Amino acid sequence: MTLTAQPEVGAAPAWQFFDASVAAVRRLGPSSVRLTLTGPELAGFGAAGCDQRFKLVLSRDDAGLDRLRERGPDWYPAYCAMPEEQRPVIRTYTVRAARPERAELDVDVVLHGTDDGSAGPAASWAAAAVPGDRITLLGPDRPGSGRPWGVEWAPPPAARTLLLAGDETAVPAVCAILESLGAGRSVTALLEVPVADDAGDVALPAGATLRWLPRDGAARGSLLVPAVHAALCELGIASTPAAPPEEVGDELLWEVPDPDAASGCYAWLAGEAGVVRTLRRRLVGDLGVPRGSVAFMGYWRQGVAS
């Protein structure tokens, strides 16, 4: 069952640790793997929306993780104060699907660097994972919707034209979003992946188009950036820019418009930080796309281990 957005509840959730284990491992293609996680505690995981973020917690020291649990909602200051050799590794991922009634959660992990030894701790763990392996998750303690739950997908109600685009790290969110949509909108999705065999099967709603863009050794973003540019021009969204966008520094770009903004078009763009910055300059500066119509999200930065 693919996640769909749920009505927002009044109180923001507390983020807590959930113990789980690997129930199943499925290789999706050369570049990614799907892990089905399970455990009694996952029955209480706060499933939210289609692009919901949560954390995988890789413990270097069980005692260190236990100390964080003891702090409850105030775990983060204790985490920052821990010596490096005790501090758990925390990485952000997308919930691909959640089945609370079965205490299960699916997460798709891109295996960056596992072929050349440069993989980070999360990708290395996922590449070697087998059923029975233990893992800890960090996520909301109740269902809901919106940013307190790690959800950004919130197109304006007036948006009848949707554009979704990203690299392989955005594939789980884009596919979950596509599978949640009903008919009645014009939907274009563009996904740049390492090779053609990384393309997957997605249940598309009526009126939706999905294009896979395999790099096959080309530079990252070299296919996605012009494809997004062309799609926006075809949709008639481009206009004369009023001013170039402000430059973003080394921090991850994360700009998400107000979901109540009145707009007939909404674009959701995520992936490697440098590519997302290039897309922002192209869309806002060159094409004059209103910032209130686009969510720009830098999921990761090339050269930083995941």
Flag whether pLDDT at 162 surpasses 90.
Answer: yes
Flag whether pLDDT at 115 surpasses 80.
Answer: no
Which regions of the chain carry the CATH code 2.40.30.10? Answer: 15-140
Q: Which of 181-185, 191-195, 202-206, 262-266 is predicted most confidently?
A: 191-195
Q: What angle do CA 79, 38, 74 make, to 5 degrees?
A: 20
Which regions of the chain carry the CATH code 3.40.50.80? Answer: 161-300
Flag whether pLDDT at 295 surpasses 50.
Answer: yes
pLDDT at 221: 96
pLDDT at 272: 95
CATH architecture of 15-140: Beta Barrel (2.40)
Mean pLDDT of 63-87: 88
Mean pLDDT of 170-176: 97
Flag whether pLDDT at 245 surpasses 60.
Answer: no
Per-residue pLDDT band at 34 (split at 50, 70, 90): very high
Flag whether pLDDT at 248 surpasses 60.
Answer: no
Over the chain, what is the mean pLDDT? 88
Per-residue pLDDT band at 59 (split at 50, 70, 90): confident
Q: What is the CATH number of domain 161-300?
A: 3.40.50.80
pLDDT at 159: 87
Per-residue pLDDT band at 113 (split at 50, 70, 90): confident
Flag whether pLDDT at 28 surpasses 80.
Answer: yes
Of the CA atoms within 13 Å of residue 182, those in its CB half-sphere come to 3
CB contact set of 148 (below 8 Å; sequence gap of 6+)? 12, 13, 140
